[in-house]
Amino acid sequence: MKKFKDFALYVLLFIVSLFLWSCSEEKLDPNSIFETEKEQQNEFDKWLYTNLTVPYNIQFKYKFDDKESDNTYNLSPAEYDKSVAIAKLVKHLWIDSYNELMGKDFLAQYSPRLFFLVGSKAYNSQGSVVLGTAEGGLKITLYNVNSIDLEELDIDMLNYWYFKTMHHEFAHILHQTKNYTTDFNLISASDYQSGSWVNVNDTTALNMGFISPYGSSETQEDFVELIAVYVTNTEAHWQALLAEAGEPWDKDDNGKTGKAKIEEKFAIVKDYLATSWNIDIKKLREIVLRRCDEVETLDLQSFD
């Protein structure tokens, strides 16, 4: 029996040695299937690293990336020169506005960690257009970048598509970090339209007590729209909206007008920002609007 075991052991060792010999003879491809070389940085990449990544830990993606895009939409990449302009405008109109009011440590702690640019619009199935998205406080996607006219900048267009969106999405990050009082949700509880908000026009939304049609979709959108619309518009424009909202939406609703509802909700918004974040929304608006007036003087292409 012992002899049989010894013989079996010799056979096993012989087979293993043959296997090892055959493996040693095999020539492996010296080239890795994985990309090991770093992509060479251009001047824009270096500017982003110095101005966004180092101070705020923000990654700014302007090259199209399937992993970052939403495959439910038919999207196209952002153009290079317009991506440069957006990055510089984001810094001047959004980052530096908060820095001026709150100091650099605020955005270093609370800013989203990733910006992703898309050249085209994103259309929903019901025909509405997505202005931007915020995901879990970490990522903001901005669409329609290729529509910027670099020869004749339109600050109203910039605010509507990008910076009202920036303030809207960042307000989501703030309330997802520290929630606001549920009293806000009760003011227009019976009037939210869900997906039907696309059928609500501006005047109807104001009469119902919403600062915008999208604000009528649900409570959190209502909350952040008040912030975004307020800080990107003048006091005269804000008062004009309130005046238009003065007619009662429902005469049986104790005579409460859309204006009264908006003012009641805005009082909660203002108090929340002041007590939870030490943000004076009126001062923030003053800074944002002053910086909007400075856009025409900015160099949005060079990196000197």
pLDDT of 180-231, one tens digit each?
Answer: 999 999 999 999 999 889 899 999 999 999 999 999 999 999 999 999 999 9
The C-alpha angle with vertex 294 and arms to 96 and 154, in degrees rounded to 5, equals 105
Per the CB < 8 A criterion, the answer to whether 68 and 119 are in contact is: no
Say which residue, 232 or 33, is predicted with more confidence: 232
What residues are paired with 60 via a beta bridge? 115
Place of tokens 């030490």: 278
Q: Is the pLDDT of residue 5 over 60?
A: no
- Determine the Cα–Cα distance for residues 76 and 68; give it in Å rounded to an integer: 13
DSSP 180: P
Q: Which of 68-82, 121-135, 177-191 has the highest mean pLDDT?
A: 177-191
Could you count the other beta carbons within 10 Å of the beta carbon of residue 109?
A: 10
The predicted pLDDT at position 261 comes to: 94
Helix (H) or strand (E) segment spanning residue 99: helix 96-102
- Determine the Cα–Cα distance for residues 210 and 5; give it in Å rounded to an integer: 87
Contacts of 161 (CB under 8 A, 6+ apart): 131, 142, 143, 144, 147
Say which residue, 72 or 191, is predicted with more confidence: 191
Task: Convert the pLDDT of each residue in 237-295 to its tens digit.
Answer: 999 999 999 876 555 555 678 999 999 999 999 999 999 999 999 999 999 999 999 98
Q: Which residues of 31-47 are buried (b: 16+ CB within 10 A; e: fewer)?
A: eeeeeeeeeeeeebeeb
Rg (CA), the chain: 28
Positive or negative torsion for Cα 67, 70, 71, 74: negative
Q: Specify the range with the lowest mean pLDDT, choosing from 20-24, 47-51, 282-286.
A: 20-24
Q: Specify the range with the lowest mean pLDDT, choosing from 23-27, 71-75, 202-206.
A: 23-27
- Determine the Cα–Cα distance for residues 83 and 117; give it in Å rounded to an integer: 7
Q: Which amino acid is at 18?
A: L
The predicted pLDDT at position 97 comes to: 95
Mean pLDDT of 60-72: 66
The predicted pLDDT at position 18 comes to: 47
Q: Is the pLDDT of residue 34 over 90?
A: no
The predicted pLDDT at position 11 comes to: 47
Say which residue, 54 or 22, is predicted with more confidence: 54
Ordered structural domains, the chain, with CATH? 43-297 (3.40.390.70)
Contacts of 20 (CB under 8 A, 6+ apart): none
DSSP per residue, 29-63? PSS-SS--SPPPP-HHHHHHIIIIIHHH--EEE-S
Contacts of 129 (CB under 8 A, 6+ apart): 121, 122, 123, 143, 144
With a pLDDT cut of 70, the percent of the chain lying above it is 75
